[in-house]
Structure 1
Amino acid sequence: MKFIFTTHNNDKKREIEKLLKDTSFQVYSLADVGFEDEIIEDGNSFLENAKIKATTIYKKYGISTLADDSGICIDFLKGEPGIHSARYGGIGATAEEKNRLILDALKNVPYAKRGAYYVFCLYFIKDEVESFYVEETCEGVISESPAGKGGFGYDPIFYLPEYKQSMAEISLTEKNKISHRGKVFEAFKARIPILFPYD
């Protein structure tokens, strides 16, 4: 079985390959299929953006397609950057620059008001008939400074109180057990025998 995952991000592709390592899926990224156009994500929610991406790629290639939209929502910033997480700080801003913007915005904000949560929404199109989505969250706190070299994106400033570490400090195996992404893919894997009963 193969599907296209609508990302150019090799870190995300590797995480998903690890999550699906005990299945027969072959994961192809947008780079693998040579897709270089920009997909305009103009939805008003994580679900709408994930559906836009999945539908665009499925219509082009006719292959089962998996798309996600994810981001970080910060209580003190009234849910921002939310669906704008990938473009926070402007197009081309690095992860370090985005993290610094958030840390600056929360400067002197007390711990009790630094609550945040990750959101991950997955939209899967099997064929013209079957599609579904799953959405999960992961709760945490914005730290006062980055920590850790693992993960990607906002992980270095996303502190997990129960681990006393940032998301970038815990192992990938541990991250996949508790993260928004890990929980969604466990639900996705549970659907595989239903979606592909003869594979």
Structure 2
Amino acid sequence: MAERTMTTIYAATGNAGKLAEFVASAQGADVEVLALPGIKQMPEPVEDAATYMGNAEIKAVAYSLLAPGKLVMADDSGLEVDALEGAPGIRSARFADDGGFTGSGTKDERNNAYLLERLHAAGTRGEVLSAARFVAALVIARDGEVLWSAYGTCEGQIISEYRGEGGFGYNPLFFMPETGKTMAEMSQQEKWTVSHRGRAFRELLQSIG
């Protein structure tokens, strides 16, 4: 019987939460996901594309050129809120800073607080403030060449109260009615089954396989 070969993918992210999701999702497949060595010392590419996929391609190509021979995966993701006409979208990670939000806290805390502020300013009230979706684009490149790409979404609602201690980003405010939980209340396995990033990554694994 031929030995199973393991494919190693290097994730170009400094976000520990994202990396943990990718590592967990690869379990059981002939794939391992590792952090891209030295990424903190590498120059960050300018993410100036108009789409998630465009930004993911920019990052995957740039980092793969700095890591010759390696399969480098980059992602771009965001939250689209209907009551805010799709904002924050591709600017999700920079939402509070873009809006000049003056509150304190971590980047995630500030983005969440600013999201609630914007929704209240838009006149939304009640427990459920708006329909929304998470979107993720994943791209794998090697030596500057894009090899595979995938796209995933998941639908949910933005609620008015934080729920859950897990996850990161907007997860404490993103409620999925079919699960009865916010993403921050889900186990890693539950989240990976329904999340935008999980769906995109499973599609990538099929392409690689």
User: Do the aligned partners of residues 26 and 82 (structure 1) sit closer, same or farther apart at CA in structure 2, a change above 3 Å counting?
Assistant: same
Q: Which has the higher strand share?
A: 2
> Equivalent of 1:61, from 41, 64, 67?
67
Matches within 5 A, 1:106-145: 106-107=119-120, 108-110=123-125, 114-126=130-142, 131-145=147-161
Distance change in 2, residues 1:130/1:54 (3 Å)? closer
> How many correspondences in the alignment?
192
Give the % identical residues: 33
Question: Over aligned residue pairs, what C-alpha RMSD do you find?
Answer: 2.0
Equivalents in 2 of 1:159, 1:142: separation in Å? Answer: 6
Contact 2:129 2:159 in 1 (8 A): no
Corresponding residue number in structure 1 for 2:56: 50
Alignment correspondent of 2:108 = 95
Return the alpha-carbon distance in structure 2 between the equivalents of residues 146 and 113 of structure 1: 12
Query: Which residue number corresponds to residue 38 of structure 1?
Result: 44
Aligned residues of 2:61 and 2:146 also touching (Cα < 8 A): no
Q: Does residue 1:164 correspond to 2:158, yes or no?
A: no
Q: Distance in 1 between matches of 2:188 and 2:31?
A: 20
CA contact (8 A) 1:87 1:93 kept: no
**Which runs of 5 or more residues in structure 1 are unaligned?**
194-199
Matching residue within 8, 18, 24 for 2:14: 8
Given residue 152 of structure 2, which amino acid in structure 1 is its aligned partner? E
User: 97-106 vs 123-132, which deviates more?
Assistant: 123-132
Counterpart Cα distance in 2 of 1:88 and 1:128:
30
> Counterpart of 1:109 in structure 2: which amino acid?
T
Q: One-letter code of the match for 1:103?
A: L
Unpaired segments of 5 or more residues in structure 2? 1-6, 99-104
Equivalent in the alignment of 2:101: none
**TM-score scaled by structure 2?**
0.84
Closer/same/farther in 2, CA of residues 40 and 186 from structure 1, 3 Å limit: same
